[in-house]
């Protein structure tokens, strides 16, 4: 239907967002959405509360790269983290028709809360001795270590604060990209110098640096503990536990990034 539709212009396939969330499509939705690459009629797509996550963001990104009819996409409340948002904007960079894409404020706050909770759960040495062993056993079980492992050090409060600030900064940089891409598309829709807009012209105000993917939480923590804040020696347990937080590796189409624009995107 997505690929062959020639009449439907607006579609709402959002999931249920009541107390009992039962009205959701399964993982097959990601496969079905790829049909939108060929759709020439649909203009408005609402796909909220479907738990799209990183895989769904990757699918929507591939759709944006080829679809030329969609003008509005509503995809809030889909557990899209920083990496998923970055991937989504990578697709938007190649799109010239979309005039609205949400800032995903709720998804951002949810993602940051999860990250903070995971980092704080690693502060084993800051817990009372009676609690440390219980938390350590849980982390050891998750990481596949034996519960007899010796006491493990943890990240300092300064590390946590710096890591959270770094992630906030990365989100804000992606929001700047979103704003600039949408302004570019709105100007194209209005017929404002459409021939002068290019992703490869160094003089174009719309030429925005495009990162491949967002940094993983493990990479961010490594950065802040080495370059920004005092910390204590890290161990294999922390590394393994942080690796658990990283989303599954997914293939993301790469393009040549342009030079930074006037807004420093």
pLDDT at 60: 96
Domain boundary assignment for the chain: 10-245
Residue 6's CB is within 10 A of a number of other CB atoms, namely 8
Look at the pTM and tell me if it is higher than 0.75: no
pLDDT at 160: 77
Distance of CA 221 to the CA centre of its chain: 17
**Token output for 218:** 């493990």
Question: What count of residues does the chain have?
Answer: 265
pLDDT at 192: 86
Residue 72: strand pairing partners: 44, 100
CA atoms 84, 85, 88, 93: torsion sign: negative
**Token output for 47:** 């796909």
Nearest to 221 by CA among 184, 167, 257: 167
Give the CA distances from residue 111 to residues 55, 79, 88, in Å, rounded to whole numbers and listed in that order: 16, 7, 16
Distance of CA 150 to the CA centre of its chain: 36
Nearest to 62 by CA among 256, 257, 252, 258: 252
pLDDT at 38: 93
Distance of CA 55 to the CA centre of its chain: 10
Positions in the chain whose pLDDT score sits under 50: 124-127, 130, 132, 146-153, 200-209, 212, 226, 228-265
């Amino acid at each position: 239907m997505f690929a062959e539709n020639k009449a439907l212009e607006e579609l709402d396939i959002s999931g249920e967002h009541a107390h009992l969330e039962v009205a959701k499509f399964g993982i097959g939705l990601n496969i079905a959405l790829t049909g939108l690459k060929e759709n020439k009629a649909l203009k408005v797509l609402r796909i909220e509360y479907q738990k799209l996550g990183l895989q769904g963001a990757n699918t929507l990104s591939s759709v944006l790269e080829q679809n030329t009819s969609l003008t509005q996409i509503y995809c809030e409340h889909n557990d899209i983290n920083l990496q998923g948002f970055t991937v989504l904007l990578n697709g938007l960079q190649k799109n010239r028709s979309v005039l609205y894409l949400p800032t995903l404020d709720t998804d951002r706050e949810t993602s940051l809360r999860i990250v903070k909770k995971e980092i704080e759960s690693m502060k084993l040495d800051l817990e009372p001795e009676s609690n440390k062993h219980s938390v350590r056993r849980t982390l050891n079980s998750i990481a596949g270590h034996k519960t007899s492992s010796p006491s493990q050090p943890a990240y300092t409060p300064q590390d946590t604060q710096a890591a959270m600030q770094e992630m906030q900064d990365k989100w804000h940089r992606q929001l700047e990209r979103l704003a600039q891409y949408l302004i570019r598309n709105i100007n194209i829709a209005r017929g404002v110098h459409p021939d002068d807009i290019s992703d490869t012209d160094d003089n174009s105000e719309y030429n925005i640096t495009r990162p491949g993917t967002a940094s993983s939480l493990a990479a961010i923590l490594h950065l802040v503990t080495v370059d920004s804040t005092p910390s204590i020696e890290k161990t294999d347990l922390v590394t393994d536990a942080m690796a658990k937080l990283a989303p599954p590796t997914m293939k993301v189409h790469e393009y040549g990034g342009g030079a930074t624009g006037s807004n420093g995107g």
